[in-house]
Structure 1
Amino acid sequence: MREKPLILVTNDDGITAPGIRMLIKIMNTIGDVVVVAPDNPQSGMGHAITVNNVLHCDPTTVDDGPQLEYSCSGTPADCVKMAKNEILNKTPDLCVSGINHGANSSINVIYSGTMSAAVEAGIEGIPAIGFSLLDYEWNANFNECKEFVKKIALNVLLNGLPDGVVLNVNIPNLKKEEIKGVKVCRQANGNWKEDFDKRKSPFGKEYYWLSGEFVNKDKGQDTDIWALENGYISLVPVQFDMTAHHAIQKLNTWDL
């Protein structure tokens, strides 16, 4: 009898978030699930790790189910490190992160705790996927995308991933029948035009709220932004070797 795959589930919205609860249910239909997720929201933490404070990682039960669950006081990257090095007795066959409440397309991949957990898993040699739904509401409807999430996860388990690559999957906020399919894309060239809303507290102390507008500078039809705007799920292969290989030859011409 074939052994079920071991699947690590994590996120950045916190262990009680509806997105991760749906992801756990989906993964329970595929394999044996272990959840290690933050005990509070960690959105926008990027690849931060805890080095100047203690970490707590405690068994917990949020929902009924066969999964084992651990609530971690650290960041999403911490959760993956804890799972790999302290909780699991073998390397998982797959790590899935999410389902995030909100987009992680284009440049957002840099800031995303969801994707940083997937990247950390990739660094540890675990095939990994970050899933995001383009709906920031806490009560977002994740039912419409569950069949796509399962199909992508099964494909990774069956086919594996290239060395040094994880997947960034973003799902448009549409009904299942309105989603046209999955499109393999590149990351769109865009960035945030930031604005800081400067305010004063009742005690006269200045503080700031970060806000901004996303600017898409990329008109290509092979990008994640184009796919999402046109009713497709975007699937971007992400590498964590950040070397700009194309620049090496030019830099070697410098008088160093």
Structure 2
Amino acid sequence: MKKSKPTILVVNDDGITAPGIKVLIEVMQTIGNVVVVAPDGPQSGTGHAITIAKPLRLDKVDLYEGVEMYKCSGTPVDCVKLAVNKVFKGKKPDLCVSGINHGLNNSINVLYSGTMSAAVEGAIESIPSIGFSFDDFSYEADFSNCIKYIESITKQVLNHGLPLGTLLNVNFPRGEGIKGIKICRQANAKWAEEFDERTDPNRRKYYWLTGVFQNNDHGEDTDVWALDNGFVSVVPVQFDMTAHHAIPLLNTWDF
């Protein structure tokens, strides 16, 4: 008996017309039946935000032949929630993939990323999920060197599944000389943030967020190290944020 193709939900945070999602759709079409639910505009840096104070719009669009596609007025997480509840009507897809994001989501960036939050929401729904990001913010970014790794990682997840409550954060370095894949941990790094203060024509102050990425982790098993050295970084991520190692300490306190 011939096995049916898997159903794959494709989402992102750069918007439904972004070049990255087009590449991801094309790759997923070689693997399974694709359904796209993506924001109608850029939603970078929205993290795990959801829309609760205004109605959501979900409109069917026809951008790529043979692909069922919807644009959503909400956040990346809204897209996954609506996909599961309204598009799939509770019958969950076999896989959720998010991206390909224009820009890295390594280290601490995973907390702010709309791309990764969409994948996290997929995992919350017990759907095997992967977030893909590439070290190039350009609209003309060349994703061609990422394709074979996206295919390989996706097929491995479909073949083997993922532990419950776990998803993959995959980041690609820029350049042609990708050396392979490294399974990594998240680097201990953060943004040293500053706010550029300016004045508008009405003499009111406003601010632009700026900052420098600071890596405080010199281990050679991190996502930052892997990317700096030409490898694709693959980090298993979980949404259980319990600091389990702190529980014994708290149990010694006299409340």
Task: Please indicate the TM-score interval, normalised by the length of the shorter structure.
Answer: over 0.9
Matching residue of 1:215: 214
Runs of 4+ with deviation above 6 angstroms:
none
Offset at residue 30 of structure 1 (A): 0.3
Q: After superposition, what is the alpha-carbon deviation per residue over 1:183-223, rounded to whole angstroms, capped at 9, x for unaligned?
A: 00000000000000000111211110000000000000000
Unaligned runs of 5+ in 2: none
3-state SS of 2:104 partner: coil
Q: What's the C-alpha RMSD, in Å, of the aligned pairs? A: 0.6
| Mapped partners of 1:232, 1:216: distance in 2 | 17
Matching residue of 2:88: 88
Offset at residue 49 of structure 1 (A): 0.2
* Contact residue 28 and residue 66 of structure 1 kept, 8 A: no
TM-score w.r.t. length of structure 2? 0.98
3-state SS of 1:248 partner: helix
Question: Aligned pair 1:145/2:140, yes or no?
Answer: no
3-state SS of 2:219 partner: coil
1:1-256 to 2 correspondences below 5 Å: 1-63=2-64, 65-89=65-89, 90-175=91-176, 178-256=177-255
| Mapped partners of 2:161, 2:3: distance in 1 | 18
Residue type at the aligned position of 1:36: V
Identity of aligned residues (%): 60
Between 202-211 and 100-109, the greater mean CA deviation after superposition: 202-211
| Mapped partners of 1:50, 1:11: distance in 2 | 16
3-state SS of 1:59 partner: strand
| Mapped partners of 1:173, 1:13: distance in 2 | 18
| Mapped partners of 2:243, 2:194: distance in 1 | 29
| Mapped partners of 1:180, 1:38: distance in 2 | 33
Residue type at the aligned position of 1:74: G
| Mapped partners of 2:100, 2:68: distance in 1 | 18
3-state SS of 1:238 partner: strand
3-state SS of 1:22 partner: helix
Residue type at the aligned position of 1:49: I
Residue type at the aligned position of 2:199: K
Offset at residue 99 of structure 1 (A): 0.1
Offset at residue 174 of structure 1 (A): 1.4
| Mapped partners of 2:125, 2:11: distance in 1 | 15
* Contact residue 36 and residue 69 of structure 1 kept, 8 A: yes
3-state SS of 1:125 partner: coil
Offset at residue 252 of structure 1 (A): 0.5
Residue type at the aligned position of 2:139: W
| Mapped partners of 2:139, 2:205: distance in 1 | 30
TM-score w.r.t. length of structure 1? 0.98
Offset at residue 167 of structure 1 (A): 0.3
Residue type at the aligned position of 2:202: F
